[in-house]
């Protein structure tokens, strides 16, 4: 199956932002999503999804977090033997780098825009292929935009909603 794409938009509710989150954001750190924020997924077939309203616990099992990363080393669906393994980034001069060109090679938004460093940037592989990825696509911290790639052979839209909520919470 081909790789499908989605765009994730987080709209921060600045009126109810805590002072800690404000200071953290001003110093360039990313904040996790709160209940006051809006989280919208725009799938490439033009389906629009409010992540908080359409979230369903998909019963995934997650392995331990990788060293120096916030992501689990692997995950799978409960009662399924298929494992999704974290693609480890390269550490160059203390910086974490990942190449998203392979999984996003047919996404026009990726090809014409810039990618930004983010603690949420990730790639997962299954059977040697890149099958799930998130990459930050905007520098705006009030309304950040992320691109998502997923293989629809392994994931349904409801799986992507679940994984997005788990990642950004």
DSSP three-state, residue 144? coil
Residue 82's CB: how many other CB atoms inside 10 A? 10
- Quote the number of domains for the chain: 1
Q: Are 48 and 38 in contact (CB under 8 A)?
A: no
What gap in Å lies between CA 10 and CA 141, rounded to an integer? 9
**Are 149 and 5 spatial neighbours (Cβ–Cβ below 8 Å)?**
yes
pLDDT value of position 8: 93
Question: CB of 82 within 8 A of CB of 126?
Answer: yes
CA distance 52 to 90: 33
pLDDT, position 47: 87
Q: What is the pLDDT of residue 111?
A: 66
Q: Domain range holding 33?
A: 3-168
pLDDT in tens, the chain (169 residues): 589 999 999 988 777 777 777 787 677 667 677 788 889 999 988 889 888 888 888 889 998 887 666 789 989 988 888 899 999 888 778 776 788 989 998 887 786 677 788 888 899 999 999 999 999 988 777 788 999 999 999 999 999 999 998 888 7
Could you report how far apart the first and last alpha carbons of the chain are, in Å? Answer: 29
Q: Exposure of 168 by Cβ count < 10 A (0-12 exposed, 13-18 middle, 19+ buried)? A: buried
What is the value of pTM for the model shown? 0.86
């Amino acid at each position: 199956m081909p790789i499908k794409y989605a765009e994730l938009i987080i709209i921060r509710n600045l009126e109810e932002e805590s002072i800690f989150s404000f200071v953290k954001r001003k110093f360039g750190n990313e904040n996790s999503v709160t209940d006051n924020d809006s989280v919208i997924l725009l799938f490439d077939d033009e389906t629009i999804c409010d992540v908080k309203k359409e979230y369903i616990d998909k019963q995934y099992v997650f392995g331990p977090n990788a060293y120096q990363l916030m992501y689990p080393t692997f995950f799978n669906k409960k009662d399924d033997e298929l494992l999704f393994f974290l693609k480890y980034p390269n550490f160059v001069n203390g910086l974490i780098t990942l190449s998203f060109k392979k999984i996003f090679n047919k996404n026009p938004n990726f090809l014409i825009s810039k990618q930004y460093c983010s603690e949420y940037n990730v790639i997962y592989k299954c059977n040697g292929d890149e099958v799930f990825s998130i990459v930050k696509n905007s520098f705006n911290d009030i309304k950040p935009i992320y691109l998502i790639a997923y293989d629809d052979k392994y994931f349904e839209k409801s799986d992507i909603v679940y994984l997005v909520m788990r990642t950004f919470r």
